Structure 1
Amino acid sequence: MTHVLSDIRILDNLLALNLNVSLWSARRKMSQEDLGGAELPPDDLASLGSKRIADPENLKVFGTLKARAFNYLDRHGVRFMSGWAIPEEKAGEIVQELLSIRNEFQKEKEAFLASYDQNVQAWIEKHHQWGEIIRNSTVGPDYVRGRMDFRWQLYKVAPLEQHADNTAVLEAGLAEEVQGLGGTLFGEVSKSAEDIWRRVYHGKTEVTHKALSPLRTLHAKLTGLSFVEPHVAPVAEIVQAALLRMPKKGNITGSDLLLLQGLVCLLKDGTALLGHAQKVIEGYGPAFVLDALLAGPDVIHESNASAEQIDGIVDMDMVDDIHMLLNIPVIDSMAQHPAIPSLGLW
């Protein structure tokens, strides 16, 4: 994808957030004694695995809560250094959600620890043949408590401008991290669009309004991080314009669905997306991009008074290729086709 540069001044609008979620695996290393003192290969050749000393089913909820927190931050921030960069104006909202997840984590943790001894005993009884191996490796609830935690650090990042050692300033590495933010963001957009395409739009001839939800989430992320790179705001405008075209009621079919499918395909292609965003920057407007996604075989006449139309004929081979991509049957030649024309950009 095209390398995207970001200015160090965007740090004025960002906060960095590190999330640390520690989970207890309920695993202990196997020992030679567990196998009755059997002769084993030397350590440089092979090593023993691990044994579970508690039922993993009782620990699944903690992995689920960790994933929920990570997914939430991915939806509202962009990966940065060892955590996420989040919009400063959304910090309060984001921390409130993390507080909610942490409270649930702590509640589940206390419930797990309250019945810890009984759960371990039930696990031993379930695997009574190997009960002694489990019993010899059990740990107390206080040990487990110290290994389960949910916390974060929120801080402001600023460039190192003065230091006794000038090399420390020049080699701080922060500028490179910031310069990569734009590319990281568009990479995350592409990955999200791939997931949206697979889960929601691939091969569909009809969807409900629930299909708009992941696009609204993506739009909110782009809007919140619009200052990261000049092309982000135009992409957000394109997504918003498409959402506004959707009917208020009823299922989404026909040209409306084709528009959404074309939009998601565009979001998957980072190079094409940047090119179309550039057209918006140049004054063509998001409507121009959306109309191009639905362009059919008819001639689109250029108006000298408007930059929102383009002269030319859509290549029918391209239209057929896009139909194959979208897995949509070719319909009547008078109908509109989902096409993502190059617009002279790639």
Structure 2
Amino acid sequence: MYTTTEITDRITLVVLDVRIWSGRKKLRAEDLHLADGAIPPEELVSLGSKRVCDPEPLKPFHRLKQSAERACLRIGTRFLGGFAVPKELTPGLAQELDRLKTEFDRHTQTFLADYDRDLERWISSIPAFEAAIRRAVEPVEVVAGRLRFGHQLVEIKPSAQPGTLAEEIEGLGDGVFAEVEQMARELSLSFEGKDKLHRRALGTFTRVRDKLACLSFIDPRIQPVVDSLDDWVRRLPMAAPIEGALFNEGLGLALLLSDAERMARHGAGQLAGFEMPEPGAEVASEPAAFIPEPSPVEDLTSEFAALFDEDSPSPVAPITEHEAPRPEYPAPRAKPEALSFFF
């Protein structure tokens, strides 16, 4: 296990500060004193609050916030209220966050410009509750102060008295396994009731593999999981369905990836008898850019397209070396024993 300083020297802390106006206000007693026993519609009142604007124009802001979080999680892991990201991948992530901020700011300008018009249109759609809405309307100047997309990239240097920083660093690996579990929680459904693997499942294997590979330096238990994935991918057929023993092995990997504790036990078990690399040594399977280079799984996806498409008239011919040379993949440190630990 690397020391706290050895880990912090290799990561950047990315902090997102995305603020979105809720478009809601606390529900008051007088809001429920309605004539003729009218019941407020669901789009107006819920869980003790009332909407004071149409929720539709606010949806792009939430979408952009989720996109920023996904970009950070694709190559990083949650840490200290932000995301720990490998330093060499930080520039690419910064560009992506800058792009999302530009889009967020553009939506903000459009939203504020149309605010009064959209508000009047929304009120006119539920005229029975006009008074309740108008009592809570926020001026556009107030709303403008509650929309912001911020992000900070910070290098971490432990102080002489770092508090519980070492404990936070030690828990990074468990956090990565928990995030991968969420990514792969439905992966086994690609195998259930089937006898061959559908091409869409390969995309999930790719995303999981790339995330684990670029964060393998933070916990030695991660690399054996990457090796197991690489070994399976290397043995997939180029022009035939994934079935039989390879299909069953893929199911075993799917079950492994969908269980954080199982991944941790597998990684620890595979480490027995292996020497850990020296601090600062390069990890062969680590991506070299923010957007990872296409892996063999991605290459295979296109080749399997027709093989698993019921509407396709015939299988796709294998890609030749001249058309798309297949990249070399790093060899695992040891070949797993038929992945028998899954069952």
State TM-score, norm by structure 2: 0.72
1:218-229 aligned within 5 A:
218-229=208-219
Question: Which residue of structure 1 lines up, in the alignment, with residue 196 of structure 2?
Answer: 206
User: Which residue type is aligned with residue 245 of structure 1?
Assistant: R
Question: How far is the alpha carbon of 1:256 from its aligned partner?
Answer: 2.8
Mark the CA change 1:14 to 1:67 in structure 2 (over 3 Å): closer, same or farther.
same
SS at 1:288 equivalent: coil
d(CA) in 1 for partners of 2:25, 2:56: 17
Residue deviations 1:58-104, cap 9 Å, x none?
A: 21222122122212222211111111101001001111221222222
Question: Which residue of structure 2 lines up, in the alignment, with residue 145 of structure 1?
Answer: 144
Question: Which residue of structure 2 lines up, in the alignment, with residue 253 of structure 1?
Answer: 243
SS at 2:101 equivalent: helix
Question: How far is the alpha carbon of 1:259 from its aligned partner?
Answer: 1.9
d(CA) in 1 for partners of 2:57, 2:192: 36
State which drifts further: 213-222 or 267-276: 267-276
Mark the CA change 1:98 to 1:196 in structure 2 (over 3 Å): closer, same or farther.
farther
1:7-86 aligned within 5 A:
7-8=3-4, 9-35=6-32, 49-86=48-85
SS at 2:13 equivalent: strand
d(CA) in 2 for partners of 1:205, 1:20: 46
d(CA) in 2 for partners of 1:280, 1:175: 22
Match of 2:338 among 278, 292, 317: 292
Show structure 2 runs of 5+ residues with no match: 36-46, 276-331
1:123-142 aligned within 5 A:
123-142=122-141
Question: Which residue of structure 1 lines up, in the alignment, with residue 108 of structure 2?
Answer: 109
Identical residues among aligned pairs (%): 33
Mark the CA change 1:249 to 1:144 in structure 2 (over 3 Å): closer, same or farther.
farther
Question: Which residue of structure 2 lines up, in the alignment, with residue 298 of structure 1?
Answer: none
User: Which residue type is aligned with residue 62 of structure 2?
Assistant: G
d(CA) in 1 for partners of 2:334, 2:53: 58
Aligned residues: 274
- The structure with the larger Rg is 1
User: Which residue type is aligned with residue 190 of structure 1?
Assistant: E
Question: Which residue of structure 2 lines up, in the alignment, with residue 175 of structure 1?
Answer: 166
Question: Which residue of structure 1 lines up, in the alignment, with residue 314 of structure 2?
Answer: none
Mark the CA change 1:255 to 1:139 in structure 2 (over 3 Å): closer, same or farther.
same
d(CA) in 1 for partners of 2:87, 2:143: 35
Show structure 1 runs of 5+ residues with no match: 39-47, 162-168, 296-338, 342-346
Question: How far is the alpha carbon of 1:36 from its aligned partner?
Answer: 5.1
Structure (1 or 2) with the greater helix fraction: 1
CA contact (8 A) 1:238 1:286 kept: no
Question: How far is the alpha carbon of 1:6 from its aligned partner?
Answer: 5.4
Larger RCO: Structure 1 or Structure 2 (Cα < 8 Å, ≥ 6 residues apart)?
2
Question: Which residue of structure 2 lines up, in the alignment, with residue 282 of structure 1?
Answer: 273
Question: Which residue of structure 1 lines up, in the alignment, with residue 299 of structure 2?
Answer: none
CA contact (8 A) 2:187 2:258 kept: no
d(CA) in 2 for partners of 1:248, 1:222: 24
SS at 2:335 equivalent: helix
Residue deviations 1:20-63, cap 9 Å, x none?
A: 1111111122334434599xxxxxxxxx9222111112212221
Question: Which residue of structure 2 lines up, in the alignment, with residue 165 of structure 1?
Answer: none
State which drifts further: 76-85 or 62-71: 62-71
**Alignment of 1:187 onto 2:186:** no
State TM-score, norm by structure 1: 0.71
d(CA) in 1 for partners of 2:232, 2:124: 59
d(CA) in 2 for partners of 1:66, 1:232: 28
